[in-house]
Amino acid sequence: MCGIAGLIHRGKSSDVGSEMTSMLTALKHRGPDSTGFAVYGEPNAGDYIMRLKVAEQEDMASGYDMQDKIDARVAMVEKRLAEHKASIKAKDAATPYAMRYVITHDGDTEAMARYIEDIEGTEILSLGNSLELIKDLGDANVVADNYGLRDFKGTHSIGHTRMATESDVDIRSAHPYWAFPYNDVSVVHNGQITNYWLKRRQMEHKGHRFMSSCDSELLAVYTADNLANGATLEDSLKASIEEIDGVFTYLVATRDELGMAKDTMAAKPLVLYESDDMIAMASEEVAIRAILPQEIDTTDPYDEEIRVWKA
Amino acid sequence: MESMSVMASDMGYDPRAGKTRDEIEGTTQEDRARDLGMMSEQLKNRSMEVFFEVGEEENLIYPYADKVDFNKRTELDCEGKPTTQVNKDIRALMEEGYGTIVLKNPRGMHSVGVGILNKLNLIIEGSIGYFGVGLIDGPNVRIKGRVGWSCAENMMSGTVLIEKNAGSTFGAAMRGGDLVCRGSVGSRTGIDQKGGTIIVGGDTGAFSGFMMQRGRMIVCGNAGKNLGDSMYDGTIYVGGEVQDYGVDAVQAEMTDLDKAWLTRKLTQYDLLPEKGVDHFTKIVAGKMLWNYDNLEPNEKKLIL
């Protein structure tokens, strides 16, 4: 089933961390397996924020030397950052396996990202100037508390509660997906993509990387491919209606935009609320009401509908 | 009939009186079926030929209702309560004899008011989520906000009036009564509709009337693609543009009876367009069907 949510505060920063936590808590019944947040803070010119994991949560219970392995992987990550002349300005670890780095880097970030992901068990969850992508097993409150997300201030955010259907319950199959290697682009999806393998092979031939066997990852890769070819977010969303088969509603966030697309069957829900200073959307109205308890007007987008908002 | 006038002012329309259990005792099965609206359409093998009387009693009749005092009114606050508790509270209030219940602060809650099987004025002051007032048989519901997916699914009788928009699968598998949305609704409206009337003041999405089997649907605005796809029977009226028709859906001629009925229905809910109903398109099933109603009993045994 899965639940998706999106939130924009137009032209100002707000408590998107705690608001998205409330929205995803209200959507918990749509998927309790894992929860993910893509939150956008004020753009940090020059500095990159890199979120990565060096192991899965379930790995922590296996073997006697997992912590040693993790320490070695973290050391290797930092060594490879240094090799790419990236200097670390800040380093945090919310959990033993999830790291957050603030780095300065002038070179080829894609090459650096590929080099780091070459380390065993390592996946870069996000890399960008304003995006921070957090995903882990458990419901929204657990993840928000573990990662200290409630205090996060930002302009917009997308989020996801997952009920695993296409792939395993682990962090690599959790949403949102970062559109590697595109800075600050993230995707959440509710649905099933039926031409996944066909499109995945096409994307792999073009050199794109897939970290999981979750069909939703395709949408992130597909979006990244379109953006790399010069398409706007709106073009990419429009093209996906024709090119991606299946039933889906998905949201894409970039540094300054948030877009949605709904398939030709309109089989997956989304409820929209728009006002001058705020836009909220979610699989169910109950999530919007979690942050806007007053009486509001909401609508359902129709089949093949594409919307893009400026954040 | 003082209670009815109170209800009329509360609900904005004038439902007809039901019969009590005692009055039902003496009636035949055929009369009861007709009262339920199950035999309101006289079918003549060819499904395009659907006749009805302008003065026919609509599906508002609920013959098995116990007497209800609509003047006995109470409020119920949903704040902080789970759905099951709200629905249990509604039942408890009905058992206490309350005929009008006002729900406050539903805030998008799912499955509110499902399975109400008696006459009741239910006024919901806000928006509700999925499967709102599904499986109901008898109540008159007014929702002042929006409803989510599958509102009034499997509704048997009564009326549901929604002031704002509605989500997809609006009135799925509905069997009787009136389901009215003043705003626009999502996709697959009236999927598998088996009776009753769905009225949409605005637009409807794709696949509306999909596999429709009986009943009528009125859309004052536009309809999305594949309207009436695979419909077996029933009638759809569209006031605006139809993006395209599904297989088996064909246009039919608007008769004077159609116009009179549309005018009456839309006037009842204050949705009659200024230019009247002459511009409406009528859509029916174009395929030849076995009409199970007209089979002899021994033939029915063969196919069932």
What is the rounded CA–CA span in Å between residue A262 and residue A242?
11
Of the residues A28, A291, A303, A304, the best mutation for testing chain B's interface (the one with the most B CB atoms within 10 Å of its CB) is A303
Distance between CA atoms of residues A42 and A154, nearest Å: 6
Q: Catalytic: A2?
A: yes
Which residue does chain A place closest to B169, by CA atoms?
A267
Q: Choose the weakest-confidence range: A11-25, A31-45, B15-29, B191-205.
A: B15-29
CATH class of the domain comprising B2-303: mainly beta
Are the beta carbons of A295 and B127 separated by less than 8 Å? yes
Q: What is the mean pLDDT of residues A72-96?
A: 95
- Which of A264, A267, A285 faces B127 most closely, judged by CB atoms? A285
Cβ <8 Å between A303 and B224: yes
**pLDDT tens digits, A243-282:** 999 999 999 999 999 999 999 989 999 999 999 999 999 9
What's the rounded Cα separation, in Å, for the pair A265 and A50? 37
Q: What is d(CA A88, CA A50) in angstroms, rounded to the nearest whole number?
A: 10
Indicate yes or no: CB of A286 within 8 angstroms of CB of B108: yes
Element (H, E) at B298: helix B297-303
Residue of A nearest to B204 (CA): A302
A286 touches chain B (CB under 8 A): yes
Q: Tell me the CATH class for A44-129.
A: alpha beta
Q: Domain-by-domain residue ranges, chain B?
A: 2-303
Residue B154 has pLDDT above 50, yes or no: yes
pLDDT classification of A203: cutoffs 50, 70, 90:
very high
Instruction: State mean pLDDT over A286-302.
Output: 92
Give the mutation candidate from B83, B109, B168, B184 for the A interface (greatest A CB count, under 10 A).
B168
User: What are the φ/ψ torsions at residue B198 (nearest 5 degrees)?
Assistant: -110, 130
Could you please report the per-residue DSSP string of B275-296? T-STT-EEEEE-S----GGGS-
Q: Nearest Cβ partner of A269 from B144, B149, B225?
A: B149
Confidence band, pLDDT 50/70/90 cuts, at residue B63: very low
Parts of chain A belonging to CATH 3.60.20.10: 3-43+130-310
What is the ipTM for the molecules in this complex? 0.86
Write phi, then psi, for B267 (nearest 5 degrees): -65, -40
CA dist., res. A220 & res. A226, Å (int): 10
Rounded-to-5 percentages of helix, strand, coil across chain A: 30, 30, 35
pLDDT in tens, A154-164: 999 999 999 98
Query: Are B204 and B184 a contacting pair, CB within 8 Å?
Result: yes
- Residue-level pLDDT at A44: 79
- Cis preceding linkage at B297, omega within 30: no
Q: In angstroms, rounded to a whole number, what is the distance separating the alpha carbons of residues A179 and B291?
A: 55
Query: A266 vs B187: CB contact, 8 Å cut-off?
Result: yes
Instruction: Please state, as a whole number, how many other Cβ atoms lie within 10 Å of the Cβ of residue A239.
Output: 16
Q: Mean of the pLDDT values across residues A106-129?
A: 94
CA distance B224 to chain A (A): 9
Beta strand pairing call for A131-137 and A186-193: unpaired
Segment B91-128, tens digit of pLDDT? 999 888 899 999 999 999 999 999 998 889 999 999 99
Tokens 């799912």 belong to B110
**pTM for the model:** 0.85
Residue B261 contacts A, CB cutoff 8 Å: no
Q: Any long-range contacts for B105-109 (C-beta under 8 Å, 24+ apart)?
A: B105/A293, B105/B77, B105/B78, B105/B79, B106/B78, B106/B145, B107/A286, B107/A289, B107/A293, B107/B78, B108/A284, B108/A285, B108/A286, B108/A287, B108/A288, B108/A289, B108/B148, B109/A286, B109/B78, B109/B83
Could you tell me which CATH class the domain A3-43+130-310 is placed in? alpha beta
Please classify residue A207 by burial: count the beta carbons closer than 10 Å to its beta carbon, then call 0-12 exposed, 13-18 middle and 19+ buried: exposed
Q: Is B111 on the interface with A (CB under 8 A)?
A: no
Q: By the 8 A CB rule, do B251 and B228 touch?
A: no
Where are the alpha helices (H) located in chain A, listed in sequence order?
Answer: 16-26, 66-83, 109-117, 140-146, 196-205, 215-228, 233-243, 285-291
